[in-house]
């Protein structure tokens, strides 16, 4: 075989490897490259945004939870704080106390008084009447930090006299005096070592001399020309001759006397309405006999006497002549505990002399109407305190608390609209 043929034959069996393919070889014999997956920019940015949002939500929340735990709140309390949206406020002001935490979890919290909750002891309590008192003290002129000091250290019956006393620039001295005398004081007895009220020192006209709930004391006075428009003579069956009262009070005195007679208790009015000049004479007689300081504890100055209202009586027992003091009589024991059922209150009770400004007068009763008299009796407050808490017009209307507090504290129950008062007055005249 020729050399040429041998070469041609060998070429038939030559192996050509892929990498030996000529550059211009058909693509059909070239392996396909994998296509890269390219994500759209919008999707990438969206993912980043979601991650950032989650961080913005959960990182601050985790930070707040840590802050709340450091203040003293538990996991369950923090959950309740979250539900009530209180986290930021509590953290910002660093508010915490066991009582506050308890009030948050049991749902009794009033968010308008958060800081007040921080000064109340763990076994203490706060209700709508406490909130009303807080606002009344604001209206009296006390600063927030003073009120917090007072609530932190004193009981309710130690706070309400401040509504009657002069404004105390140094509340700490008052607190110390209350604590020093705490063993002998209670809801029915209150006395202090210091003096916190100057009688007649800041005289003010009576708020509404046409209202049966008017307050007349050593601060609030009636003009010398004031005279009740509906005076009526009292029956000599229950009164000394020539005594008069406002018609509603006169009717209530008869009802009261009849009820006493039904249980074997008899009494009568020794004194009732006195005009300005008559009171001036009475007071001067006391001054002549005892001196002005003693007279001021026994009798009112003209214009400052409840007798001028036509709503007040001094009473005495009948058929108990062997007993010298009225407070020792059967009549006193019955009248002092039942008078409110007929619209009357014992105006100057024993143990409250420092608040009323008068010595105990077992015989001195003031007509208020059955509903109000019963409320005062049940409160165990003097009428001076009760009026300051529930009835006094506000000096600054921005201090008036929320409707929930006014309703819950019974404030609304005692404040009547002019329309309601007109209806009551008309009914009284018709009767």
Residue range of the domain that includes 390: 204-403
Q: How confident is the model at residue 353, as a pLDDT?
A: 96
pLDDT-derived band at 292 (thresholds 50, 70, 90) equals confident
**Residues 250 and 370 reside in one and the same domain:** yes
| pLDDT tens digit sequence for 332-371 | 999 999 999 999 999 999 999 999 999 999 999 999 999 9
**Measuring CA to CA, which residue among 186, 135, 195, 172 is closest to residue 404?**
135
Give whole-number Cα distances, 335 to 234, 266, 271, 379, in Å: 19, 10, 16, 18
Cα dihedral 229, 266, 235, 214, rounded to 10, equals 0
Q: Are 187 and 161 in contact (CB under 8 A)?
A: no
**Residues 209 and 348 reside in one and the same domain:** yes
Q: How confident is the model at residue 44, as a pLDDT?
A: 58
Q: Give me the number of domains the chain comprises.
A: 2
295 located within any domain: yes
Measured distance CA(99)–CA(117) in Å, rounded = 7
196 located within any domain: no
- Give the three-state DSSP class for 53: helix
| pLDDT tens digit sequence for 298-326 | 899 999 999 999 999 999 999 877 667 89
Q: In percent, how much of the chain has pLDDT > 70?
A: 82
270 located within any domain: yes
Q: Are 352 and 382 in contact (CB under 8 A)?
A: yes
| pLDDT tens digit sequence for 156-182 | 999 999 999 999 999 999 999 999 999
179 located within any domain: no
Strands, E assignment, 91-142 = none
Whether the predicted pLDDT of 278 surpasses 60? yes
407 is catalytic: no
Q: How confident is the model at residue 65, as a pLDDT?
A: 87
| pLDDT tens digit sequence for 10-67 | 555 455 555 555 555 544 555 555 555 455 666 655 665 555 555 455 556 778 888 9
| pLDDT tens digit sequence for 364-410 | 999 999 999 999 999 999 999 999 999 999 999 999 999 999 999 98
247 located within any domain: yes
pTM of the model: 0.84
Residue ending a domain, among 106, 135, 152, is 106
Question: Among all chains, which residue has been given the structure tokens 């014992």?
Answer: 346
| pLDDT tens digit sequence for 251-260 | 999 999 999 9
**Residues 93 and 220 reside in one and the same domain:** no
Question: Chain-wide mean pLDDT for the chain?
Answer: 87
Residue ending a domain, among 81, 106, 131, is 106
Residue ending a domain, among 55, 71, 106, is 106
Q: How confident is the model at residue 20, as a pLDDT?
A: 54
Residue 210 in tokens? 């046409």
381 located within any domain: yes
Residue 186 makes CB contacts below 8 A (sequence gap 6+) with 157
Q: Are 113 and 131 in contact (CB under 8 A)?
A: yes
Residue 330 in tokens? 């059967």
Exactly one of 361, 407, 420, 421 is catalytic; name it. Answer: 361
Q: How confident is the model at residue 386, as a pLDDT?
A: 97
Q: How confident is the model at residue 37, as a pLDDT?
A: 46
**Residues 366 and 241 reside in one and the same domain:** yes
Whether the predicted pLDDT of 114 surpasses 80? yes
377 located within any domain: yes
152 located within any domain: no
Measured distance CA(79)–CA(92) in Å, rounded = 18
**Residues 260 and 399 reside in one and the same domain:** yes
pLDDT-derived band at 422 (thresholds 50, 70, 90) equals very low
Q: What is the CATH number for 217?
A: 3.30.1380.10
Q: What is the DSSP string of 174-222?
A: HHHHHHHTGGG--SS----SS----TTSS-EE-S-TTSTT---SSSEE-
């Amino acid at each position: 075989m020729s050399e040429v043929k041998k070469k041609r034959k060998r070429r038939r069996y030559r192996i050509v490897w892929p990498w030996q393919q000529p550059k211009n070889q058909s693509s059909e014999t070239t392996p396909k490259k994998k296509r890269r997956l390219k994500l759209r920019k919008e999707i990438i940015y969206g993912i980043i945004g979601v991650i950032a949002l989650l961080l913005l939500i959960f990182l601050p929340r985790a930070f707040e939870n840590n802050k709340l735990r450091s203040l003293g709140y538990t996991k369950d309390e923090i959950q309740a704080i979250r539900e009530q949206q209180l986290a930021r406020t509590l953290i910002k002001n660093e508010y915490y106390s066991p009582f506050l935490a308890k009030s948050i979890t049991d749902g009794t919290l009033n968010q308008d008084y958060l800081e007040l909750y921080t000064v109340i002891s763990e076994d203490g309590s706060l209700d709508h009447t406490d909130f009303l008192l807080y606002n009344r003290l604001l209206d009296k002129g006390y600063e927030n930090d003073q009120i917090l000091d007072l609530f932190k250290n004193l009981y309710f019956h130690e706070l309400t006299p401040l509504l009657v006393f002069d404004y105390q620039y140094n509340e700490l001295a008052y607190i110390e005096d209350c604590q020093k005398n705490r063993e002998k004081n209670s809801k029915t007895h209150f006395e202090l070592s210091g003096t916190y009220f100057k009688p007649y020192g800041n005289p003010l006209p009576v708020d509404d001399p046409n209202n049966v709930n008017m307050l007349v004391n050593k601060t609030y006075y009636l003009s010398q020309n004031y005279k009740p428009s509906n005076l009526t003579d009292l029956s000599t069956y229950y009164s000394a001759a020539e005594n008069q009262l406002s018609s509603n009070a006169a009717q209530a005195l008869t009802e009261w006397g009849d009820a006493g007679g039904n249980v074997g208790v008899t009494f009568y009015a020794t004194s009732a309405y006195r005009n300005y000049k008559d009171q001036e004479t009475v007071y001067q007689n006391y001054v002549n006999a005892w001196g002005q300081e003693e007279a001021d504890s026994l009798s009112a100055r003209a214009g400052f006497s409840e007798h001028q209202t036509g709503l007040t009586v001094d009473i005495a027992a009948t058929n108990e002549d062997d007993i010298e003091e009225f407070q020792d009589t059967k009549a006193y024991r019955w009248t002092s505990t039942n008078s409110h059922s007929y619209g009357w209150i014992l105006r100057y009770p024993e143990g409250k002399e420092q608040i009323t400004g008068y010595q105990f007068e077992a015989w001195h009763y003031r007509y208020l109407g059955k509903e109000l008299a019963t409320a005062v009796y049940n409160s165990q407050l003097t009428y001076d305190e009760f009026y300051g808490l529930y009835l006094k017009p506000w000096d600054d209307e921005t201090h008036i608390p929320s409707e929930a507090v006014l309703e819950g504290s019974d404030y609304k129950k005692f404040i009547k609209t002019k329309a309601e008062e007109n209806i009551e007055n008309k009914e009284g005249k018709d009767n």
